[in-house]
């Protein structure tokens, strides 16, 4: 009888030990942060899975309703979906919440480039110029051929660069009838690809052709 009690006691101790050891081995998983959700959103965006991109960026905002990078992601997502009105809204929210970020921050610059794109697509050329010029102040364009300025690249699509912002600005200046500013942006593009001599304005038709020519020479 005594031996049976000893055996039972051993079994109980072994069972308790396995329970405690199992608890110690169990790892607690932190829920995704706003940065994690945003990273997941960009992963979906790069594969064209825009439904999940919207969901993930939206979850980031649920975690932190002021999280600028997630608004940037939503802006670019709705632009890819050609919903320019919603895209503009998210970019403008991102601009509001991104005020404290450094001007060198790629997401902050991306907000203004994206807003320039979206407003131009909505035929709001004045608004696009304001957004584009704010971007230029953050990321100054080249001052001479081969000058390594105008460095922005979209972190998740290297085809989108500062050069694209210059194209959009040139189109907007053309639409608003600002020949000098339009020619300046043509010069930015020429300097970016080390093209000389610098274009000189003669007439609007020639300027339109030059903008189209420079768009075709986009190095990205």
The span from the CA of 209 to the CA of 216, in Å, is 11
pLDDT of residue 28: 63
Span 160-212, pLDDT tens digits: 999 999 999 999 999 999 999 999 999 999 999 999 999 999 999 999 999 99
Q: For 57-65, what is the mean pLDDT?
A: 98
Span 2-60, pLDDT tens digits: 454 544 444 444 444 444 444 445 566 788 999 999 999 999 999 999 999 999 999 99
pLDDT of residue 29: 74
pLDDT of residue 146: 83
Of residues 97, 178, 117, 188, the one with CA closest to residue 147: 188
Cβ-proximal residues to 129 (8 Å cutoff; 6+ apart), any chain: 169, 172, 173, 176
The DSSP H or E segment spanning 51 is: helix 50-63
Domain formed by 33-216, architecture: Alpha Horseshoe (1.25)
Domains of the chain by residue range: 33-216
Cis peptide before 71 (omega within 30 of 0): no
pLDDT of residue 22: 47
């Amino acid at each position: 009888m005594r031996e049976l009690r000893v055996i039972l006691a051993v079994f109980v101790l072994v069972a308790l030990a396995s329970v405690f050891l199992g608890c110690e081995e169990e790892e607690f998983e932190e829920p995704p942060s706003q940065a994690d959700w945003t990273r997941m959103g960009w992963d979906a965006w790069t594969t064209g899975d825009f439904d999940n991109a919207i969901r993930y960026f939206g979850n980031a905002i649920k975690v932190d309703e002021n999280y600028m990078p997630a608004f940037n992601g939503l802006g670019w997502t709705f632009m890819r979906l050609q919903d320019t009105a919603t895209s503009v809204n998210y970019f403008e929210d991102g601009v509001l919440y991104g005020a404290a970020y450094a001007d060198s921050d790629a997401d902050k610059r991306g907000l203004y480039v994206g807003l320039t794109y979206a407003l131009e697509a909505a035929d709001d050329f004045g608004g696009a110029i304001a957004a584009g010029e704010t971007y230029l102040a953050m990321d100054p364009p080249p001052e001479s051929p081969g000058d390594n300025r105008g460095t922005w690249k979209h972190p998740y699509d290297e085809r989108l660069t500062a050069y694209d912002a210059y194209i959009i600005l040139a189109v907007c200046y053309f639409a608003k009838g600002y020949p000098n500013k339009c020619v300046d942006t043509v010069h930015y593009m020429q300097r970016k690809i080390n093209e000389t001599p610098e274009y000189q304005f003669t007439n609007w038709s020639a300027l339109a052709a030059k903008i189209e020519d420079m768009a075709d020479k986009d190095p990205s």
